[in-house]
Structure 1
């Protein structure tokens, strides 16, 4: 076995249906009494349902900031910071997906306030010490142990109304975290176990959710898988897939989860010649793969009934060359050398919505 290092991220997890009732207990455990609630505008009504739960336990929220948006733009963070100070909040509670949790991280790292997350999607941001922020059209990321939220409450009940299409893309986004962990430069056997188990759980659950969004067992299975995949993202480095998604999302304002879903099979196809052992392991946990991981991913996306072209989400064909230049300008480590022409064809296929093939 190869030598490796392993560091466990010290996050506290409360998992299970109805676990939201333990929110006041978690606030008090931290010695806090005036939490600020965070959400997107779309989830404003849902997050307000937390206030009676807190009030019944003698906790009054400091207020609600409901302007979180994707890619965590710094101007929104600055507005949130001003509001946080004005209401004298002593901790923050993020309710939602990656957009809201990203804002919670941005506030926490700037103020030192404790951060409690209640995820309602499968994005996995709650499990990572990573913060991605956008300023003037460019997305940058940084990693710091202090960014990692201290407590995460996984209550499947809050995922039951997540639309089928968003469930699918959010779940594939989570799978992307796990897949890249399998061939990360600093991967290790523990992360491999988590990555394969998380991928397996999500790949089995997501098609069921798309066909029957009210299947609570499938929802719980997907949330468990997303937790494991998020742990992978938070523990080891990422490669080409995440670089492309940060480039495309931050520079062209493309939706986060949808971009990850479209790019994943193409990024894996690009790297396939250099990671044969990973491709074999991945194929073993993807239903319908017949021993071919790329086929397994293509089959999964077909089952999820998802539009597979970035052009469907606003990217223009002339943006392909610009994306290539940005991606090669500051590349992440990757198992295969970043070659400009194969990379351009990879991005073009993502734009066009073609099936992935390992022929570049």
Structure 2
């Protein structure tokens, strides 16, 4: 089999700092390096109430902080984005710092887009996301301090939810990515265990789905395999020893490798990628309010069986089995069973019914999935997708 591809270095994230205490040591100097004089810190109500990560970030910033916006919400409702944008305007913010998981990081990206595009209402924001016009005005710089393993910090996109239309809307633009990332395991200690562990399964899903849904690549496959090995080794350790900062940092670095390395390895002529779990996560979030991490937990085993039945799947199963540490057991059923056992061993749900999705909702989910598959030029019969959802239920 011939091998051809391209490695595209992304002109987005400028610096990644990692290690215990890197927020205390480097946050203020990174703000200054980016020209920030009035940073806005964006976070969640729960982190705002906690005495750990927020206190360390505030201490690192000192008197330079313009304001704190503690109103980020799960699934990034349009209203919370606009509230954050108003807070930035009122504070005269010239830089955004996001402290939290994927919803917080996406709120930071979205509020910067709102300010650049002059969006002030939910209707304007929804129309902007649906039409996806290019951004012409510069965006405020963003520094991301992740507290989960969601991986939102490295993507060139963000998603927000139109609660009225029950629709998850996305926007892609290189300028939306943060300029600086700080992976400090101390910042993750206040993250609830279920959220931390399920976000780790989402990171695992990033690596596995990209490995199975795209053409082989000599660089990308190495990164994904190392990510899978690292998460399988260190994520259970953080369950058993939550204070183990070394294990937490290894999880952060493994999640980075899953989808957010300093390069994006893609085939030279890529076939459109239809990522089953990720596509389903949008509709589970908008229709049933299932958090992203939990959506990965309850759909990944069934997705592995679906991928395993696709043409050409077996050539990737061996590499995946090796990364999972189950060499010699590379059939789709064996791989799916191993991953399902791993998720269950973390104390997380593995069925759609376990996260409140009723069985009668499956046909609508299958219909939406098929539309997403067709949008990626992937042939997948609705009945085939419904069977996969039945398997996941």
Tell me the distance in 1 between the aligned counterparts of 2:216 and 2:36.
37
1:93 to 2:93 alignment: no
Match for residue 281 of structure 2 among 245, 265, 273 = 245
Deviation at 1:329, TM superposition (A): 2.4
Query: Are 1:18 and 2:21 matched, yes or no?
Result: yes
The superposition leaves residues 137-177 of structure 1 with CA deviations (integer Å, 9 ceiling, x where unpaired) of: 11122321112111000001112333332222110100111
Segments of structure 2 that go 5 or more residues without pairing to the other structure are 117-138, 267-272
Answering whether residue 216 of structure 2 is matched by residue 193 of structure 1, we say no
Contact 1:38-1:94 within 8 A present in 2 as well = yes
**What's the CA shift for 1:333?**
6.6
Q: Which whole-Å CA distance do the structure 1 matches of 2:18 and 2:374 have between them?
A: 33
Distance in 2 between residues matched to 1:194 and 1:286, nearest whole Å: 14
Match of 2:48 among 44, 47, 58: 44
Partner in structure 2 of residue 142 of structure 1: 171
* Aligned twin of 2:344: 302
Shift of 1:190: 1.9
State the distance in 2 between where 1:36 and 1:53 align: 14
Is the contact made by 2:183 and 2:249 (CA closer than 8 Å) also made in structure 1?
no
1:111-126, aligned counterparts within 5 Å? 111=116, 112-126=139-153
Within 2, Cα distance between the matches of 1:234 and 1:252?
34
Aligned alpha-carbon RMSD (Å): 2.2
8 Å contact kept, 1:181–1:238? no
3-state SS in 1 of match to 2:159: strand
Asked whether the equivalents of residues 183 and 278 of structure 1 are also in contact (C-alpha less than 8 Å), the reply is yes
Look up the match of 2:367.
Answer: 325
Question: Equivalent residue of 2:144, what SS?
Answer: strand
Residue of structure 1 equivalent to 2:201: 172
Cα separation, partners in 2 of 1:143 and 1:289, compared to 1, 3 Å: farther
> Are the counterparts in 2 of residues 197 and 225 from structure 1 also a CA contact under 8 Å?
yes
Counterpart residue number, 1:286: 324
Q: 1:202 aligns with which of 216, 231, 241?
A: 231
What's 1:231 paired with?
260
SS of alignment partner, residue 37 of structure 1: strand
83, 86, 103: which one pairs with 1:82?
Answer: 86
Matched, 1:257 2:293: yes
What's the offset of the Cα at 1:335?
9.6
Deviation of residue 238 (structure 1)?
5.4
Q: Say which is worse superposed, 117-126 or 1-10, in terms of deviation.
A: 1-10
What corresponds to 2:3 in structure 1?
Answer: 2
**How far apart, CA to CA, are the structure 2 residues paired with 1:152 and 1:248?**
28
Q: Structure 1 stretch 239-248 or stretch 25-34: which is displaced more?
A: 239-248
For residue 26 of structure 1, give the secondary structure of its aligned residue in structure 2.
helix
TM-score of the superposed pair, with normalisation by structure 2: 0.83
CA contact (8 A) 2:109 2:158 kept: yes
1:233 Cα offset (Å)? 11
- Write the deviation string for residues 99-149 of structure 1: whole angstroms up to 9, x where unpaired: 100101112233311010000111111011121121121112232111211
Deviation at 1:266, TM superposition (A): 1.2
1:332 shift after superposition: 6.3
User: Distance in 1 between the 2:274 and 2:177 partners?
Assistant: 17
Which residue is 2:133 aligned to?
none
TM value normalised by structure 1: 0.90
Q: Check conservation: 1:97, 1:119, Cα contact below 8 A.
A: yes
* 1:298-331 per-position Cα deviation (integer Å, ceiling 9, x unaligned): 2311321222222222212211111112222232
Aligned counterparts of 1:276 and 1:331: Cα–Cα separation in 2:
21
CA separation of 1:78 and 1:35: change in aligned 2, threshold 3 A: same
Deviations 1:222-268 (A, max 9, x none): 11101111316994655222111112122221111101121112112
